[in-house]
Structure 1
Amino acid sequence: MAAALLTGCHVLVAVVLAASAVGKARPAGFRAFLTTLADMGLGTPRMRRPLAYATITAEGVAAGLLLLPGTRAGVIGLLLASLVLAALTLGVVRAVRGGGPPVTCACFGRTGRPLGVLHLVRNTALLLAAVGALVVTGSGPVRATGGELVVSVAAGAVLAVVVIGLDDIADLFTAPTAAGTRSADLP
């Protein structure tokens, strides 16, 4: 059971960080991420571009290393992912508690909702998954095999898709529907 959970956490965090890095690395995503960093007041204008590159690189490297669970590289990936996720979570806390104008999320290279509690919960859950996997890894070698491996990889990938689309999922429950708008317009 621990092996399946560990593998699922590796896949979850790897896919989310890979999607984040790829989204931010595209030209429009990179510009949006630079705007997010500026709106958060992080770094000087000269330092934002290197900070953005460092973030994208760290996310990508961690994602790659996480695909090697049960190895030293996998452990390094968990450590790097934990550090990246801790920094991103602190950034969300800063944006939410900053008291300034809302900061739009460019988490996956696109803008959408302003950073808020949903993003804080998402990042905290991902951080807990990475740290939890690190703790399990520290207790000794564990490796999922056979059917356990297939199920844990699939579960991690499905959870990652949900996490990546969380803003869109939340919009389904908070945005006014077209039918609701039309019925309100009727006399």
Structure 2
Amino acid sequence: MDRHRHPLLHLRRQDLLRHLTSALQYVTLTARCALGLVFLVAVFGKVRDRDAFREFRRSVPGLAPGLPPTATSVAVVAAESAAVVLLAVPRTAPAGLALAGAVLLAFATGIHRALRGGRHATCRCFGTRPSPAGRVHLARNLALTALAFGGLAAHLAAPAPVHPAGAAVAVAGAGVLTLVFIFFDDLADLLIAPSARPPR
């Protein structure tokens, strides 16, 4: 009886591993697309005109005190732009995910330190209307960081090609995630009651 059971168990394990490998690649693709779009919107918001970049530069000291605002602003835009390019190319996608995760972790660290030190900081992540950096922004950046490193881990664990139908679903999911992250502030305002809303 055992002789007949072992081949079946072996086949089931192979099927499970194949499905898991395929699922991990869709996780990677979703992360690549979502982060690429988020960073693309962020870069455009910061450099769409001189006023936008100037306002972003003014927000830097609140999150990174002691660093030169202009050089730091240029470095951030350059890093975000590089992440967009790296994420768009399958061969360089792992580097793009790692870079995106590092940039997002740096943002999260700056926001956390500002909150802990009671320092006023302004969030201009997407170059839109300014808002005081708070727990909502920290949560968003931590979620994006987890997405970046999760996508990288999924790619390293299972570097396999994806099927067109599954890729379409992953891209659609990435589009939804992108909208959620871009409008994270507004969604938080809608979902959290004013009386229970933490400081932003």
Range of TM-score over shorter length: 0.7 to 0.9
Residues 111-130 of structure 1: per-residue CA shift (max 9 Å, x gap) = 33211111111101110111
Q: Secondary structure at the match of 1:167?
A: helix
Residues 124-158 of structure 1: per-residue CA shift (max 9 Å, x gap) = 11101110111111124123221100000110111
RMSD: 1.9
CA positional deviation for 1:164: 0.6
Aligned 1:145-156 pairs, distance under 5 A: 145-156=163-174
Say yes or no: does 1:59 pair with 2:80: yes
In the alignment, is the contact (CA less than 8 A) between 2:24 and 2:158 conserved in 1? no
Tell me which moved more, 142-151 or 33-42.
33-42
Say yes or no: does 1:21 pair with 2:39: no
Say yes or no: does 1:42 pair with 2:65: yes
Q: Which runs of 5+ in 1 are unaligned?
A: 177-187
- Matched residue pairs, number? 171
Q: Which runs of 5+ in 2 are unaligned?
A: 1-22, 195-200
**Displacement over 6 Å in runs of 4+:** none
CA positional deviation for 1:104: 1.9
In the alignment, is the contact (CA less than 8 A) between 1:93 and 1:120 conserved in 2? yes
In the alignment, is the contact (CA less than 8 A) between 2:94 and 2:152 conserved in 1? yes
1:96/1:143 Cα in 2 relative to 1: closer, same or farther (>3 Å)?
farther
Normalized against structure 2, the TM-score is what? 0.78
Task: Measure the CA separation in 1 of the matches of 2:135 and 2:164.
Answer: 38
* Structure with the greater alpha carbon radius of gyration: 2
CA positional deviation for 1:40: 3.3
Q: Secondary structure at the match of 2:123?
A: coil
Task: Measure the CA separation in 1 of the matches of 2:118 and 2:44.
Answer: 30
| Partner amino acid, structure 2, of 1:34 | R
Q: Which residue of 1 aligns with 2:110?
A: 91
Task: Measure the CA separation in 2 of the matches of 1:83 and 1:41.
Answer: 15
Identity of aligned residues (%): 35
